[in-house]
Chain A
Amino acid sequence: MELLLHSFFNLGILQQAWPFLLSGFWMTVKLTLVVVPLGLAGGLAVALASTARSRPVRWLLIAYVDFFRAFPPLVLLMFIAFGLPFLKLDLGAFGAVALSFLLNTSSYYGEIFRAGIESIPRGQYEAARSTGLSAVQTLGYVVVPQAVRNVVPDLISNTLEVIKLTSIASVVALPELLFAAREAQSVTYNATPIIAAGIIYLVCLWPLVRLLSRFEHRQIAVH
């Protein structure tokens, strides 16, 4: 018990590590605020483009989505972080993370938005168009708002996964929460910073998990 307290819940170590953890935490917040909106916008763009009439465009988008869904995000990140500099394209750690997240999450968000758009009956387009709305207005005012409402639980679920995924940025030395915790651990020779980082993730993300759990039960109970 004493060993457990000393190794995992060591207040002295926590005090030393706290400034690191805090700056790591803010980096994680910053990263989230960049990659989630980017992914949402990219995903919506992919989904809207897949409503195009042209077949090659649709096939190309399906290929894009499947390609990036088949890639483990960490593999994509490493490829971009270590491969692109050879093309004289050094984005830095933050840029590499943002680009790989954009490619990865836009294909997941894209699939979600696509399912939402497909859930809107054809008749709504026709009705909207026949009242004189343009195609863009129909999408913007009629289809997308309803489509988004239909897939809110999936969007939240994916966003939770994206936030958790920001921890892989530690692998390319972006100083976010997990990276800060590992640095503090290797300096102090004590696992408390890692446990503390886990607790910080837990405190921040638990409300989302609870919310999702309620959505899921309701969703499956309806069927």
Chain B
Amino acid sequence: MTSLERLADTFFNVPVMVQYLPKIVEGFFVTIELALAVVVAGIAAGLLLAVVRAFRVRAVNFCIVLVVDVLRALPPLVIIIAFYFALPTIGIRLSAWVATWLALALVLAAFAEEIFWAGILSVPKGQWEAARSTGLTFLQTLTEVVLPQAVRLTIPPLTNRTIAITKGTALGAVVAVGEILYQAQTAYSFSYNPSPLLLGALAYLILFVPVVYFGRWIETRFAWKR
């Protein structure tokens, strides 16, 4: 065998790839499912926290800031491992999928809350006062006047953060969630051939290159005027 053939045999081993392709495809859909669940739950929770914070109740806001800071300071992998390996010792058992989902959704919620809150703060105080004096309630002012303006500002940073965190779904492989990386890694250790890893890498590129381009587009579309 020439060295090129050996290279092809190692990284593009067609029989191995064909054998494990169905597994990788299965993982592909688990990754999409997990990522979507994280994005929906994380952004919804983040928005909710920011709205609660707008009521400016001291004790509540202190708790929100504390939790958000903790979630921003801890590596996501540490949170996943704590949920999956530490919680069972006090009797709380989460499946690997739920542990990964919950950890990533909480991290996204923390970042989203900070971004939404910064957006809410960016709306001038005069708008609050004007809206309240026309007879709108506090909640109406928030949802009809402030949030529509705030959310527009938050779209570029929020998109980038969301993309970064959805890529964290690969961390689920560490606790054996059957997503792309886990399938690829398992196939690699069964076949002792790195072709499945290459296949998994391709699956990630197919999934995330469009997402990265979408993020770039959003950034120019909603560019902040400097």
Contacts and interface: CB of A to CB of B under 8 A. Distances in A.
A114 interface: no
Interface in A122-179: 160-161, 164-168, 170-171, 178
Interface in B3-61: 7, 10-11
A172 to B, nearest CB: 11
Interface stretch (A35-43, A44-52, A89-97, A187-195): A187-195
Q: Main SS of chain B's interface residues?
A: helix
Contact of B75 (A75, A86, A165, A216): A165
B78 A220 contact: no
A185 B85 contact: yes
B121 A223 contact: no
Contacts of B69: 206, 209-210, 213
A3 B92 CA distance: 12
Given A223-B122, A223-B153, A71 B208 contact: yes
B128 interface: no
Interface string A178-208: 1000100100001100110110011001101
B118 interface: yes
A198 B11 contact: no
A53 interface: no
A86 B196 CA distance: 13
Contacts, number: 145
A25 to B, nearest CB: 13
A66 B209 contact: yes
A191 B89 contact: yes
Interface residues of B, number: 55
B221 interface: no
A197 B73 CA distance: 12
A192 to B, nearest CB: 9
B114 A194 contact: no
Interface in B55-104: 69-70, 72-79, 81-82, 85-86, 89-91
A72 B169 contact: yes
B77 A178 contact: yes
Interface in A57-102: 66-67, 69-75, 78-79, 82-83, 86-87
B178 interface: no
A208 B204 CA distance: 31
B197 interface: yes
B197 A78 contact: yes
Nearest to A216: B118
A74 B181 contact: yes
Contact of A202 (B74, B174, B209): B74
B221 to A, nearest CB: 16
B139 interface: no
A182 B24 CA distance: 28
Interface of B: 7, 10-11, 69-70, 72-79, 81-82, 85-86, 89-91, 114-115, 118-119, 121-122, 153, 164, 167-171, 173-174, 180-181, 184-185, 188, 194, 197-198, 200-201, 204-205, 208-209, 211-213, 224-226
28 contacts: A4-B90, A7-B86, A8-B90, A66-B209, A69-B212, A70-B205, A70-B208, A70-B212, A72-B167, A72-B208, A73-B170, A74-B173, A74-B174, A75-B170, A78-B181, A78-B185, A79-B197, A86-B11, A166-B75, A167-B75, A178-B75, A194-B78, A195-B82, A201-B73, A210-B69, A212-B72, A220-B118, A223-B153
Given A185-B86, A201-B73, 4 more contacts: A8-B86, A66-B212, A202-B70, A209-B69
10 nearest CB pairs, A to B: A191-B86, A72-B170, A164-B75, A70-B208, A167-B75, A220-B118, A72-B167, A205-B73, A7-B89, A83-B194
Interface of A: 3-4, 7-8, 66-67, 69-75, 78-79, 82-83, 86-87, 119, 160-161, 164-168, 170-171, 178, 182, 185, 190-191, 194-195, 197-198, 201-202, 205-206, 208-210, 212-213, 216-217, 219-221, 223
